[in-house]
Chains A and B, each alone.
Chain A
Amino acid sequence: MQKRVSRGRFLKTLGAAGVAGSTLTILSCQPNTNAASSGGGGGGGPEEKELALYNWSDYVAKSTIPSFEEKTGIQVTQDFYGSNEDLLGKLQAGATGYDVIVPSDYMVTVMIKSDVIQKLDKSKIPNTKNVGEDYTGLSYDPNNEYSLPYQWGTTGILYNKKETGELDGTWDPMWDPQFEGQIAMLADSRETLGAALYKLGYSVNTKDDGELAEAEAALKDQQPLLRGYFISTEVRPLVQNGDILLGHVYSGDAFLALAGNKDLDYIIPQPQASRWTDNMCIPNGAAHPDNAHKFINHILGADTGAKLSNYTYYNTPNQAALPKIDPALKDLPGYTLTPEIFERLEVIEDVGAKTREYERIFTEVRSA
């Protein structure tokens, strides 16, 4: 799963994805050397004034890191990854050079199970109190022992309202032959199988072979109608430029498009749609765990949190930051959610051994 806003981060992330595909890189996963060489060990003694942040690209506001450095005197180095799996691969290969990482929901579960992240010490993160209760205690880390939320968003349909008229609020238009060649789905097995499962009234986390087979059939019906499968940041310009009418996107990309174009609209379809969360975690063996806690606390501050979301265009889990969110952003369709909409959002969970079946189905659908 790839959650990112754009602003020209497209090539950067694709580059990261490209590198991830080369086996050489995977097999020689080295810890970030400049971060690792400065490691002083998590044990006793004061830490050096350093912090290594490993994050999605373009996922901090301009002021996020400078304000932390100013306040604490801790120098931050930032590295980037292109997918949750790249991040996991590096940690599993023993990359201990990082202090804070930002995995998505389902990946937090995987990381807990493969023992690559450590428990947080909440006493060092007083701003935990700012996190809204809707964003804590989620299934991927039920007691938030290992993670605190960074940003969250939804996955829905960005469409050209001027051309299509108002949609009916379901997933059906993504299967409507009248829009043949004008639809794009996400190149993400869980999200795109998810859309089919939602349409059929099933859970996005199903492990039932019968339900998955129905979803596969639905996606095979849909495939000929599509322009293709893309990452969210590619879908946005396709809709903006009028290349396609309907695009399956992450909310941040939708909001970036809506902010400049009144002809477009974003819906979170019925009966269900996905809601995802990126989270802050500390890897095992982090050299600067105290600094890491300070950084997490910084992000959960009211001012930092608001500036972050005003930049990324994603939603904040930070209740204290909410009043400072740009009103123009808050008013965009699908940004501020009513409890009814929020209720029907489902969190994508890791499906364990079924992951491969999801991938196989998605490969089969795409090559149909």
Chain B
Amino acid sequence: MGGKGRGWTFRLVGLLTPVTIWLGLFFLVPLLLILAYSFGTSNIYGGITLGFNPGNYLRVFDPLYLEIIVRTFVIAALTTLLCFALGYPLAYFIVFKGRRWRNALILLVMVPFWTSLLIRAYSWVVILSGNGIANKTLQFLGITDEPVTLIFTSQAVLMGMVYSYLPFMILPLYASLEKFDTRLKEAAKDLGASRWHAFWRVTFPLSMPGVIAGSILVFIPSAGEFVIPQLLGGSRTVMTGSLIQNQFGSARDWAFGSALSVMLAALLLAAILFYVRRVGADKLEGV
């Protein structure tokens, strides 16, 4: 920036001020409030008395809550893996085989965003219920004789999460594969690499920025999810998000809810730092 003159600095300040105010007010201030609340003491009739009470954090280590946090991370990791397994081939197909349909296909990936997640999750209830479309179809095809249990199970929760977050995996993968120079693949083949070898040694490593970005974009919201376990899981798959929601709701325990939120955020940050270290931060360049 140095040496480009005062006009440039002014322009930069002008451009950055709105976003700084926005993020400061709606991101930083609430975050600091949660941090302050997490050391407060919840009043019996709701509300909070600020102070320094580390007891809220000690309660997080109750085996009951630890188990819920671990379960949350397992479900989020499974969701991420499944999204990757489904999303990579699709992104690859759209980029390299989509030809003139490319833009239309990637638009189709985005179509679900036009409707609220809540409505889409609820439509799964309609599809998967005892006499819903899925069961009717199975019976019509003679695969089953009577309705089978498809909903209100942990599998249904996982399916709902993969469905909801799949686009967040596909879009960054698409963006990074799209930039891929196909001549590199040809060069690899010319140098004697098999198709698989060329993919594994050339294409895949170059798409890592997309893999990393996609994984993070799927993992974080999955770990905070609370609507899908409620709608598709019959509230029997308790995740950290629902636990936090309860503390701010019927438990009237904002301090503990805040401590849980801070812990979840800290664990997510640690997991992501570990992940990025593992695969190498340099790979993130060009995302």
Task: Report if A243-B118 is in contact (Cβ < 8 Å); known contacts: A23-B248, A355-B251.
Answer: no
Classify chain A's interface size: 35 or more
Give the residue name and chain of the B residue nearest to A364 (CB): B64
Give the residue name and chain of the A residue nearest to B235 (CB): A229
A-contact bits for B251-275, CB 8 A (1 contact / 0 none): 1111011100100000000000000
Q: Does B10 contact A (CB under 8 A)?
A: no
Q: Cα distance A360–B235 when bound, in Å?
A: 15
Provide the residues of chain B in CB contact with A360, threshold 8 Å. 64
Q: Does B250 contact A (CB under 8 A)?
A: yes
Give the residue name and chain of the B residue nearest to A187 (CB): B235
Q: Among the listed A23, A86, A88, A226, which residue makes an inter-chain contact with B30, where contact means beta carbons less than 8 Å apart?
A: A23
Give the residue name and chain of the A residue nearest to B125 (CB): A234
Within 8 A of B (CB), among A112-135: 113-114
Structural contact, B45 and A228, CB atoms closer than 8 A: no
Q: Does B160 contact A (CB under 8 A)?
A: no
Structural contact, A241 and B129, CB atoms closer than 8 A: yes
Within 8 A of B (CB), among A84-129: 85-86, 88-89, 92, 110, 113-114
How many A-B Cβ pairs are below 8 Å?
126
Provide the residues of chain A in CB contact with B261, threshold 8 Å. 23
Give the residue name and chain of the A residue nearest to B227 (CB): A18
Q: Cα distance A88–B241 when bound, in Å?
A: 21
Stretch at the interface among A24-32, A168-176, A295-303, A323-331: A24-32
By DSSP majority rule, is chain B's interface helix, strand, loop, or mixed? helix
B-contact bits for A294-338, CB 8 A (1 contact / 0 none): 000000000000000000000000000000000000000000000
Q: Does B219 contact A (CB under 8 A)?
A: no
Structural contact, A85 and B235, CB atoms closer than 8 A: no
Within 8 A of A (CB), among B103-120: 116, 118-119
Give the residue name and chain of the A residue nearest to B256 (CB): A356
Q: Does B98 contact A (CB under 8 A)?
A: no
Task: Report if A21-B251 is in contact (Cβ < 8 Å); known contacts: A223-B236, A228-B152, A367-B67.
Answer: no
- Other than the given A14-B118, A83-B249, A114-B45, 5 more pairs (CB < 8 A) read A18-B118, A21-B249, A113-B45, A356-B252, A367-B67
23 example contacts (A-B, Cβ-Cβ < 8 A) are as follows: A10-B122, A14-B122, A20-B248, A21-B241, A23-B244, A23-B257, A23-B258, A23-B261, A24-B30, A27-B30, A85-B46, A85-B249, A88-B46, A189-B250, A228-B152, A228-B235, A229-B234, A229-B235, A241-B131, A243-B131, A243-B147, A353-B44, A366-B235
Q: Give A residues with C-beta under 8 Å from B.
A: 1, 10-11, 14-15, 17-18, 20-21, 23-24, 26-28, 83, 85-86, 88-89, 92, 110, 113-114, 181, 184, 187-190, 223, 226-230, 238, 241-243, 352-353, 355-356, 359-360, 363-364, 366-367
